[in-house]
Structure 1
Amino acid sequence: MRRLGQVVRTAQGLAIVRSPGEEHPDLGTEAVDESLRTVGRVVDVFGPVERPYLAVSPDEGTRLAALVGSKLYAR
Structure 2
Amino acid sequence: MRRVGTVVRTAGGLAIARTEAGAEPPRIGSSVVDESLATVGRVVDVFGPVDRPYVAVTPNDDDLAALVGGKLYAR
For Structure 1 versus Structure 2, the TM-score category normalised by the shorter chain is: over 0.9
Q: TM-score, normalised by structure 1?
A: 0.94
Q: Unpaired runs of 5+ in structure 2?
A: none
Secondary structure class of the residue paired with 1:24: coil
TM-score, structure 2 as length reference = 0.94
Corresponding letter in the other structure for 2:65: A
Alpha-carbon separation, structure 1, partners of 2:17 and 2:47: 10
Identical aligned residues as a percent: 70
RMSD of aligned alpha carbons: 1.0
SS of the counterpart of 1:65? helix
Per-residue deviation at 1:22?
4.6
Give the superposition deviation at 1:63: 1.3
Structure 1 gaps of 5+ residues are none
1:13-52 aligned at under 5 Å gives the runs: 13-20=13-20, 21-52=22-53
Structure 2 match to 1:58: 59
- The residue that corresponds to 2:71 in the other structure is 71
Runs of 4+ in structure 1 off by over 2 angstroms are none
**2:3 is matched with which residue?**
3
Change (3 A) 1:65 1:39: same
